[in-house]
Structure formats: C-alpha cells, structure tokens
Structure 1
Amino acid sequence: MDFGTSHTVAVVSGPALPARLVTVDGQPWFPSAVFWTGRGTAVVGTDALRLARAEPARLEPRPKARIADAEVLLGDTVVPTTTLVRAVLSRVVAEASATAAAPVQHLVLTHPANWGSTRIGALLTAAQGLAPRLSTTSEPVAAAAWFAHQHEFPVGASIGVLDFGGGTCDAAVVRRERSGLSVVGCAGLPDLGGDDLDQRVVDRIRVDEPAVADLLDRQQRLRPDEMAALLRFRDDVRAAKEVLSRHPQVDIAMPDDLPDRLLTRPEFERLVSADVARAVDLLADVVAGCGLTPGDLHAVHLVGGASQIPLLGTLLGAAFGTRIRLDEAPQSVVALGGHTLTDADRSTADDVATRPVSEPDPAPTGPVRTAAPVPAAARDRRQAWIAVAVAAVVALTAVTAVALGGGRTVPGAARAAGSAPERLSVPPPADGDPITVPGQSTQRLPVVEKGTGIRYEQGGVTMMWRLDSFIDTPEQSAELAEAGVHTDDEHRLVLVRITTGPVDQQASPKQVEAETYVVDDRGLMISSDDDLRLAGCPDRVGDELLEPGEQRQACLAFRLGRTTPVTEVALTPNSTAAPGDRMPTANGARVLVTGQRVDGAAQPLPREALPLLVPHTFRAEDGSYSADVAVADLVSAPSAYFRTEPIGLPGTRGVVARLAIRVPADSDIAPPLLVQLRDDRGTTIEQADEVVGQECVERRRLTESTAVQVRCFLFAVPTATPVRDVEISLYGTDPTVWAAS
C-alpha cells in the first residue's frame, strides 16, 4: 500500500489472483482524506470530501502530513492522528480482502525515504492488527523495484527517482547492488505537489473573475450549495490539469453559471513553470549531493500523478540528457513496486515481525491500542479535575502556591516536600472556539523570478524591490555568525540580498527591508535580524531617505531552526507577525528558492525549559523594577478574547499565550517583555499583538505588598506548525524558556 499525502493506492494478489490494483469507491487511487462525524466515526475517501462540503472543520484532507502530531482537532473533537491513519489503512485492507476473497496475510507499507523511526513507528502503530505480517519499505526503493521489473537495471547502476505527487515532491538516487536496492541520497519539497499546481490555475482565475474571488474569500461562510459549487470547480481544475497532459486545451466549468474558461497548455505551463523548475532543481541537487553527474544516471524514473505534465519531461530531458521513464499510470508505481518486494528480495523491506524499524526506537510488535478520541470540552473538564488533584497534593506537601482569585493549578509533576518549585495559579482560560484561516500564507502573492524588479505600494509611496540572491549554505551561516549575528547549534543563518528604492518620491527603504521574509515549508514567515555587519554589505542606516530612482542594496540575515526547509523569499505587508484583521492583498511578491537539503525533523526541547506556571524573576539592570513571570498556558480556542476576527493571514490559526506576572503592589510599571513562540524545529514565531479583555491585563492584589497580573499575547501560527516552547526576555537580556505543554 502506498499511503500518500493526497491519495492512497494499493495492489493485492493471491494464490489464484494475479496482482491487481485495489479499487475503493470505484477508483484505483482514492483520496486519503478522513471526515470525523459527530457520532465519533471516521469516513474516508471520496465520501469524506462530500461530507466536508457541509462541515469543512471536520475534515483532515492529509492525515499523512500530520503523522508526527499526536492529535488533530476536527470539529469539536480531538482525534489521535493514528486513529485517522488507521481509518484509511483499514478501509483499503478491507477492500483488498474483498477483492481477494480472503483476509490479507502480509501488508507492505511504503513511506518517504527521509522518515525516521518516530514517523514509521506511528504508521506501524496505526496498522497493528490489520494483517498477521507487516513490512515497510521506502517509496523510492519501491519505485526503483518497479523500474527493475519493467526495464533493464544493471547491478552497480543508479537511477534518479522523481516522485511528484498530489501533496509533495520527493527526489532520490537509488543504486542497484548485488544485495538489493539502496537509497544513495534523497530530499523533498513538502510544499510542492500537484495540488499546488491546481492552485496556480485557481489563483489566475480568481484574478480574472471577481465572482470566483468572492467565493474563495467567503469559503468559511458559504452556504452548502455554494460550497458544493466551489468544490466542483476545484475538482474541474484538477481534471483540467490531467487533460492538458494529453490534449492542447481544455474548458473548465465555472461556478455561479459563469461561462466556461478555456485553458491552453501554453498558458498552464506559464503558470506552473517556476514550480516544475523547482522539481527539476530538486533532483539535480540530490544527484550532485551524491557526488554524481546527470550523465552517471542510468535513467530518471518519474512517479506520481503530477509527473505526467509534459513540461516536466521537457525540462528533465534538457537538464539530464538521459532516458526519462514515465509509466502509463505513474500514480500506481510505488504500490506496484512495493508489491514486488517479496521474500525474494528481503534486503529492501523491513519485516516488523522479525526486526525493529531502527535500534533507538523499535517499532511495536505486539497488539497496540490506539487512543480514543476525546471531545475538546470533555478534555478540558478532565484536565480541570487533574488540576484539582495536583493542587491537593501540592497542599499536602506544604508547597506554597500564589493564588489568583478563582484560579486553578495547571497539572504538573508532584515532587517531594521541599523540592517542588513554586507555581503560580491563574483562572482557567475563557471558553471559545478555534480561530483558523484556510489556505497558504503567501497564496495571494504573485511568483516572480530572482533578479526581477517589482513595484511595491507602501503607505502611498511606490517602491522598487528585487531579490538579488539567496544563500543558504553552512559556509554562509558560519560567516554570518562570525560577523556577529547571534546563533547556536540548534539554528542556522541564511543570507538574502535585495535591492530597493523609491520610484516616485523621496522615501526610506527601511520598511521594505523589514517586510522581506523567508518562508518555510509550512508557511511560517521569518523576519530578518537587525544586527548585521558583513563585508561587502552596506550598513543599514536608520531611516536614510533615498531620492526617486535611487536604489540601495541590503543584506538581510535570517535565523531559523537548523532543520527548517526554506521554500520562498516573500515581500508582503502581511505576515505571521502582522496577520491583519482581513484577507491580505496581492501587494508584494514571492520568489521560489531552494535552501539546504534538511529533513524538517523536530528538535528536542531545551533542557533548561521551565514547566508551565513555574516563575522566573526578571530584573531591570538599573534595579528600577523586578517581576516574577510564568507562562500559564497556550489557548488554542481563543475566540472569546476577541470581538472581531484578529487574524486574516491564510493558513494560520490563532493562539493566545497567557502569562502570570507577580509584581510589587505599589508598582505601575509593566515589565517590557518580549514574548515569542518557537516551533518544533526551534524557529521563532513572532508575536502578533497583545490582547486586552477577559482576565487579561487586570491586576489583582494578593497581599499588602504583591499583586498578580495576567497578560495575554496573540500569535498567528501556521496551521501545520506545532509549538514547542515559549521564549520570554526583557528587551536586551537573555531569554528564559518554558515548555509549551
């Protein structure tokens, strides 16, 4: 079974049954989507997409992309991710058993080559009990196995595998050795897939058709009939992309009784050329990283539905000059190849019944029970009862807690008397709903090529902006660190060079520089570091005014987690630090870039991280004030804190960080705190705003000499980005870190 990001494909065979594709909902490849009903059951595939037209919040369209997350919020229910994955796997196994008229005895699951033991272990946990025997193999090895089944593949030769699926694009070099097939090198673009090519067409049409733009802007508030029309339109765009692989033009049925839209292959190729070029560059980078040249490859094997685009074959042929192999049904290649990896070639598949996935983190081999879904409200009540129990233990062990009227203690580990840290206490967060904005953070920005100048409107002034270079190498990171840009072993630095200047009137380029971001694979927009003095780069001098037509080059350094993939450089007034209260405009641009080949893996929580509610004392250097500060919690359903929608940036969710601050009762000074979140890779998520309302900002006296205040800070967090910790500092001081949960 090829459990894909957007679609799943499986092959079944038996003693009297030749290998054949398993059909689900009448299709040989079906959507991997899962819809969680109000009755606590899962519906998968095409039916899931249909049900989501009425209740889109209950749909998880890509459970594979969430497999590293412990749970997912669907509607009002928190569902373990393994439960969603199992729903897809079990549906396919059931259909395979029906096709073979016998229970499945051996289930082979494929996975990306760069998955570690955590993700593979989660996949196997979801599959436990579906077959007596479970095996895993990597997707490029499975694809290469099918290539060897169909074509000559000599021992010692290497092929390039480019898997351009609906949700992701992955490249690998696979070598055939006497002992079997092995992956020499691999990398992926989690933000690039066939769905993104569809979005390019949708974006073009929304510019041409205001009625379509209106539907897209209102998709969270559409009537069921409008939502159905919008989804049919998106389905027709997807079908049009596939038709253009075989024909020179196609008509797209438009919503709202609009006339059909003619889309030609040349127009489509213009819209997606930058994306397709990224896929070709990805494979070229992997080949070069393996110490090979294009001429060293025996062939390039294309896999995945989006690989059928003729432009891809054209660009690959020009870049590699070698044989480009494309099957009639490239969506099925990985599943077919995985099926060929039987006992005759045990070197390429890991059998869970006989050996672990990896030594540090062995896969489960016995029956595993996946956790049951918990309604969000019930989970809050359960946590409240746990909090009461912990508070009782703390009281019995004579650990002092500072009370804030009507408060509760957030759960923490009980310790022996005299060793437990003090914990502050806060009221429970206000009951609310999640705040989410669908889409991708930069989806409205036009894509331009590096070196192309654009005009950017800023406060009534027209500015010119151009990306000159993007450098993401270990050597550049080391050079920036030597130049004084702060970093550590958990982070790396990248350099962006831009040219900017006013077009029509005198203006400073400083704001344009500040609104230039690098964007990671999940849509997080990362700001530049202000402190940069690098040879060959001009100093960034305050608000220096430039005359119309005058231009200045700037070097911008960006600090991000060492495993964070960078996919774009963007110029925009809207970001995760300035999400706005409305949908962002198309003012600005984005340039697609390829950074270091990193796997996007999560990094461990710093050892010095404090538990929630444990205070740290911040003191001003001049002794003018001090305050005990603790992170109380992160509120993921914060709608009660706002009267209007606080964020409008696509692809983000609202998160409120609540802080408990103990200060002298007679002090009116609010500590100037810098509060930031960090994602699971250690990359900073900047604060969007401070919240006033509910229990926030109010100060309550505890004793004659002390008072406690709750302060709340809003963050626009990309939907697929987990939060690992909260980092707080007084401006200009070293930060203190709290675990996010």
Structure 2
Amino acid sequence: MGDEGFRIGIDFGTSNTAAVLAFPDGRVRPLLFDGSPLLPSAVHADPLVGLLVGRDATHAARVRPDRFEPHPKRCVDDGAVLLGEARVPVTDLIAGVLRRVAAEASRVAGGAVPRAVLTCPAGWGARRQEVLGSAARDVFADVVLVPEPVAAATYFVAVAGRRVPTGSCLMVYDLGAGTFDASVVRRTGEGFEVLAIRGLDDVGGLDIDAEIVATLGHTYRARDEDTWRRLVEPQDQSDRRASRTLWEDVRAGKELLSRAAHTSVHIPLFDDEAPVGREQLDRLATPILARTVAASRAVLDAAGVAPEELAGLFLVGGASRMPLAAALLHKQLGIAPTVVEQPELVVAEGGLHTRAPAAAPAGPDRIGVPPPVLPTPSPSPPVPADDRHRDAGPGTRFRLRLRRRLTAVALAATVLAGAGAAVIAEQLSDPPSNDLIAVPEPLREDCRGGDDATMPGAARTLLCRDRQGQQATVGLFTDREAVESAYRQAVREAGVTPGEGDCATAATGEHRYPAAGTATGRVLCYTGAAGRTSIVWTDDQGHTITRAEAASQDAGRTLREAWLAWTAAPAFPTREERDLIDLLAAVDCRRAPVGVLDDFPGALAGVECNPQGVGARTASYFRFGTVAELRSAMDGQAAAVKAPTGTDCADGTAPGFLGTRRYDLRSVELGALLCHPGPQSSLVLQWSVESLLVAGRAVGADATGLAAWWRVYSGPPVARTVEAVNGQAAPPFPTAAESELLTHIPQRSRTNCIRPSGEQIRKNVGSEPVVAIVCGPTSGARVVFYYRFPDLAAMRRSYGSGRTGGADCTKQPRSFAGESSYQRGRVSGRLRCGSDESGNRWLEWTTDELAIASFAFQGGDPAAMIDWWRHDAGPA
C-alpha cells in the first residue's frame, strides 16, 4: 500500500460503522469517533441543522424519536424512510453516515481521502449493491465494494498471520447487531472466493437484547402492567426516551457479561436495578445462537466442506464477543473458533488488504456465488411505509417477533389437536426422533417411554439401553433452568460436595465433564443404600438428565467405563492439551484434575506439570477460547475468595496472602494476578496471560517462595508472550518507524522488544511525540526504554536542564548518583544515574546525534551496568 496514498476501509454495519485508515507508508489505524472506534450508524433528521449522525443522532432522538432511524442498513430496500414529516431517501441516510467517516479520515490524513473500500454482505444482489455504491460515490471519488466474508478471510491471513494454503477453505461466522451470516470461502491464487453463504436477517445481538427485555417483563409487568407497557410500547416522547434508555442499558449489560459474571440493568419508570447473570444470559441466548450454529453447519454442507477440512473458523462482528457463541460452535463443529480482541474492526481492515474488487453478482441475491441452495425464511408481511419507522428502536422488532411467535404457537396447537389421541398413545412407547437426538448416541439403540419410566421434574422420561444391555433413565426437560434445579436436588440428596472427586476414577464425586474441551454438563457419582453405585449427569445443550445404576462396586467400575464411552471422554492429550503443553515448552505434564478444571469455567484444556525450581508444589495451566472467557474465570475466582482489588501479590507480602490486581510486562498489561489461601494451609497464586489465552495456578506453602517462583518460572516463555503481544498490538509491532529505531539498538540488548504503554511513555518523556520501544532483560539492566524524538530540541525539552554538572556516572560514585555530559566515540549527550528505594540502579542518557533518550531500570552492580552502557546499550 506504500504507493497508493491514503485509503479508507469501511464496514457499514446495522448498528455501528467501523473505519480503518491506511497511510501511504503502510501503517493502518482505526478511526475514532468521539473516542470510540465504533460510530453508531444512526441518523436523525433535524429540521434546523439537517441530518445528524452517530452519537449526535442518538442524543437528539431523546427529544424527537420520531425523526430517528437507528439502523439505516435495514432500510436498503425501502427507497425512502419517514423521519418526522420528511421522507428521506435511503441513499441520503447512508451517505450521511459515510460523510461523517470521510470527515474524520480527512482530519487525520490532513486532507480529503478520495479512495474507499466498502464491505457489504455476500448475499446482497445488484440492486442493494447499487444503493450502497451510489451513496458512497456521493462522498468518495473512488469506491470499491468487497464482500464481507472475503474481507474477513483476508484479515485472517494478512493481519492475523494465520496460514491458509491455496485451495483451503475458511468459515466466517459474522454475528452483528441485527443480522447473521455464515460463509465458506476458499483461498485462490488471487485472494478468496465465496463458495456458499447462509444469512439470517432476524438474528443478531438485538434479538438477544429483546429476550432480556422480555424476561424482565415477566417480573415488572406483574408489578405494574401499565408502567411496563409504557416502556415496551411507548406512545409519547417521555415514554420513548425511557424506552430507549432501557434498551441501551440492556445492551450495555449484555456486553459487560462477556467480561464479568454479574451485572444489573436500570429499569426506567420503575427506578429499579434488575440483576442479570452470565448463566441467565446464556440460557436466553442459546436458542438464538443455536440457529446460527445450525446455519453454520448447513453452509458447510452446501459448500461440500467437512468441519475438519477447514483451515480455520473465524468469528467477526460485535455480537460474536459472547463466549457462548464460540463454545456452541466448538461443541457442534469440533473445531476451535478464532476470536480477535476487536471483532468489529476485522471486516473494515480486511477490506483494505483485498487484491481486487468484488466479483460481479451472479444473480439477484448473491455476489459471485451460485444461486441459493439453502432454504431461506419466508419474508415477514410488509409494513405500511407510514408506520414502519414510527417507533424507531428495537421495541418495534420485539413486538413483531412476539406476534410471529404467538401465531406459530396457535398454529402448532391446531395441528396437535387434529393429530388425535392415537398418535399420542403411540408416542408413549415409541419416542419421536427429536427426543432421541437429546439421548447419548450409544443409548439410542433401544429407548421407550411409559409409566414405568419417571424422573421428577422432567417433561418426558425414557428408558434406554446400549448394545451391551446397560440401562439408563433419560429425563427430557423444557429448559436449562429446569435441568439445573433437578440436578441440584439430586446432588443435595446424594450428600456429595460439589466440585470434588473424579467420577472417571472414583465412586464419589461431582464436577463438570468432559475433563478436556468445552464443558458439556455436570456429573454426580455416589454409592447409595445397599452398595448401589449411581451416576447422574446433565447435558446442557440437550436439556437432559441421565441416571444409571449398578448393583455392586465391581459393577460400578463397569458402569464408569460405560459412562466414559457414552459421553465420549477424550484421551490425553487432546489437540488443545498438546497445543497448551507446546506453548508452555513444558515436560512431564498430565491432564489437570477435573476438580481443578472445574474452577476455570470456559477452559478448553487444562494440564498439570511438575514445576521447575523451588517454591511451588504443583503448577497447572489452562487454555481458553476467548479473552472474555479467561477474564470471567479470573474474575469469578477473585470474587469467590473475596480478594481485595489493587493488592499486589508479586512479592508475597500481601496481608493474609489475599489480593488481586492487573500486572504488566515492561509496562504492557498482560493479565490478572490473584493470591489467596488454599485448603490444608496451602497458598494459591493464579495469573493470566491474555495475549496467549492462558491462565496459571501454582500451589505452595511459603508466600515469599511461591511469589519468587512465579516471577521466574510462571511460563509461558517470555518470547512467546512477547510475540503474541506484538502480533495483537494496534498497529502491529514494529511499524516502519519502530523498525528504524530497532536498528539503533545493539543486538545484545535487542531482546524481547515491545511497544511500551502510553502511560509509561508519558511517565518517562512527558507529552513530546516519540517513537518508543522497550527491551530486556539485558546484561546491564532488566528493562531498557528507547525513545526517538522528532528533533534534538524536543529531546532536550523532555530531558530538562535542572540537574546538570553533577558527578560523572562512569566514575561509579559511591552513591551511584550523578549527572554529566559524555562523549562516546562519535556520539555525545547527557548521562544520569541513581538508585531507587529497593537498591535497584538506573541509568538515563541522551544521544544528541540521533535525538534518542534511553532509560535503563532494575540494574545491578554499577561496574557491570556501566560496562554494558559503554559497549552494548546503544543507541548505535
């Protein structure tokens, strides 16, 4: 991109628009709108100032919501939209959003940016493409349209650095606010081609919001039905403002639950705070996300590609942040999805790396792909144009969906009523096929229902046998909440402590299963009256509880083996476990005890390795699929032990060995650190490395020794962590300017170099613009910062002149404190030295010829430090 001038990549989304600017020198950075990389796609027609866009539009909508359209992309087929008393062409709405993007791009670039790459759904035909293209050409001189999955796949290779051989296929799972698209693309010599797509126009993050609102309605409608109706069916401006506040808070709470286990939602008009938990959200979202998983499987069938043949499964779109999406996909397709830190920016940046414009549409409904081969949902009844946008907001969609549901329920009731009692009687002995889907496959050989098969709380109970004659009772429940209630009752009656034991090897225990990969459910095993052994387990996806019994301990061992076969327990090591061991560069590892894995919900793998060095008795490591899941697990651990936030565990001096805080690597934040007492007078130290999606847990007896072990042996290797941090930096490290600065750092000190944090830069050099790099450890200091200034004057302003003329640091003064000029070969500048309260030495020096200032911290012996500075510190 170096000779192409400025270009802009734009992902015009249903709820938000993202844009990435490509500089002539190859740098790429996202544009910020009011401090955020996401610009709300909303527009508001103000009769005095014209069309407002983004947060200005959402703010104006609080007063005149009838002039507001939050989702112009959904109006692409409408021609014009009624905003207040004015009918505004859809192209004007889209152009208004793009014009706001162009203005920000011009501000950053210092002039107009004429070239734009816009992405659009792969299922859009020529007419929709023309609407988007026409709006874009009103703003930009040169416009290229690229299918969204092609842009996403290109990012996967060009930016994320994943290896995808020519001829291999990727799946792109794109879950946005209002729509979902699953696509299979194949890499060619020219880029990517779309093989098949499956779109759901009625599935997105807004639908999950609607489910949360509906659930809240069960509670608040009972308190005051008229007040709740004002929130979900507003009739005046005051109620519309309250309704919009509710929906905005629901969305914010849902997004927070991707990182935390609990939150609350403010309920306007009631002036109340409603608690919402991750488990409740997952229960509401599962039916919606299950449709996206089904569409993903269907698009693979349409493309003729098996899941194991994919080179990758790539999650994009803001709603894909939900950990449940990745978990369901992994469970159903058997491949681990790839999720980036900012999935909203993937498509916009990927579009900039595509080699060619979008292919000419092959038909009215596809871009460069064959005619549809998958069933598509029937279109909703048309809404009169004058009423379509009267209640601008998700509330309208929610009511329409509710009416469709009620219609479907009424139709189903009519069909069942006409089926006759004979069919119902037949089902008592011959379960329907959709019941059998929830039964473990090895038990489907012989299943029947009847009065002799009952399970408390189950909507239906089956008696099933496998080929060896082993019998089990399967209870089919209506939802996950009913399953959990019945299972908790079984655990209480058995008297088993949750989260202990291992039912794969012992007769008593309760824990998650399987012991590797995504959790499928929970299992309880115990010995009851007369020595009978029982195993009871749940299936979260199928909403079932299965119970099997054996008459004796010997038969109980056989039962455990049968249970392991029924639930397809994986052998060690799985692919995820092997990848984790390789990442750690560890030896002598085994599968982590399932009780320990149970403490890290969302983990895909857990291993326990013999720790190196001294200070730790055991060391366990866990790998996650997303940063959100990793953070949620660490937050849950900290909350469970009631660790005070901000307490440092790194030196073992935390009061009561209890506390948690964020920690960093040379100023770049890596993850969370948690210490707390464990069972039997043990001490536990836990930490996360978010760039690698890894959590660790070490157990020891001495606080100081355990902390010292963590500082040296915590793993993964620093080089792997640095590689991941640099790969996920924005922009990726090193940029062209950073690469040039690296050439001035001597090879012996150019170790594990990264870009320091903005806070650290301000602490070291103030507000002067600099190119910054930090490296280490070196032979003279553990941490060394290098800052290149635009000119000598800027460097001198940062360094200051108030402490000149002191002792010469190269003479190693007794207190190792001084400041003086220096001449070293052909370079010259100022040199300072000193010691901190802990006795660690530091150096600060400038190099006038290069306008570079350097800081070395955590030094040791002054003679060794000065020798390193003379020969290996640089800059050169």
TM-score (norm 1): 0.48
Larger relative contact order, structure 1 or 2 (CA cutoff 8 Å, min sep 6): 1
Q: Which has the larger radius of gyration?
A: 2
Q: Which has the higher helix share?
A: 2
